[in-house]
Amino acid sequence: MARILIVDDEPAIVLAVRGELNFEGFEVDSAADGHEACEKAREFRPDVMLLDLGLPGMNGFEVCRRLRAEMPAMWIIMLTVRGQEVDRVMGLELGADDYVTKPFSLREIVARVKVGLRRKGSANARAIYRFGRIEIDLRSHRVLNKGREVALTRKEFEILEMMAERAGQVITRDEFLDAIWGEEVYVTHRVIDTHIAALRKKIEDDPNNPIHILSVRGIGYKLD
Reported as a single tens digit per residue, the pLDDT across 133-168 is: 888 887 677 888 888 888 888 788 889 988 888 888
Tell me what pLDDT residue 185 has. 61
| One-letter-per-residue 3-state SS of the chain | CCEEEEECCCHHHHHHHHHHHHHCCCEEEEECCHHHHHHHHHHHCCCEEEEECCCCCCCHHHHHHHHHHHCCCCEEEEEEECCCHHHHHHHHHCCCCEEEEECCCHHHHHHHHHHHHHHHHHHCCCCEEEECCEEEECCCCEEEECCEECCCCHHHHHHHHHHHHCCCCCEEHHHHHHHHHCCCCCCCHHHHHHHHHHHHHHHCCCCCCCCCEEEECCCEEEEC
Residue pLDDT, tens place only, 87-97:
777 877 777 88
Tell me what pLDDT residue 31 has. 95
| CATH fold of the domain at 128-223 | Arc Repressor Mutant, subunit A (1.10.10)
Of 124 and 201, the structure prediction assigns the larger pLDDT to: 201
Quickly state the pLDDT bin for 51 (edges 50, 70, 90). Answer: very high
Q: Where are the domains of the chain?
A: 3-123, 128-223
Q: Whole-model pTM?
A: 0.58
- When mean pLDDT is compared across 67-71, 74-78, 122-126, 168-172, the lowest value belongs to 122-126
Residue pLDDT, tens place only, 100-124:
888 889 999 999 898 888 876 655 5
Predicted confidence (pLDDT) at residue 126 exceeds the cutoff of 60: no
CATH superfamily, domain 3-123, is Response regulator (3.40.50.2300)
How does the average pLDDT of the chain come out, rounded?
A: 86
Predicted confidence (pLDDT) at residue 72 exceeds the cutoff of 80: no
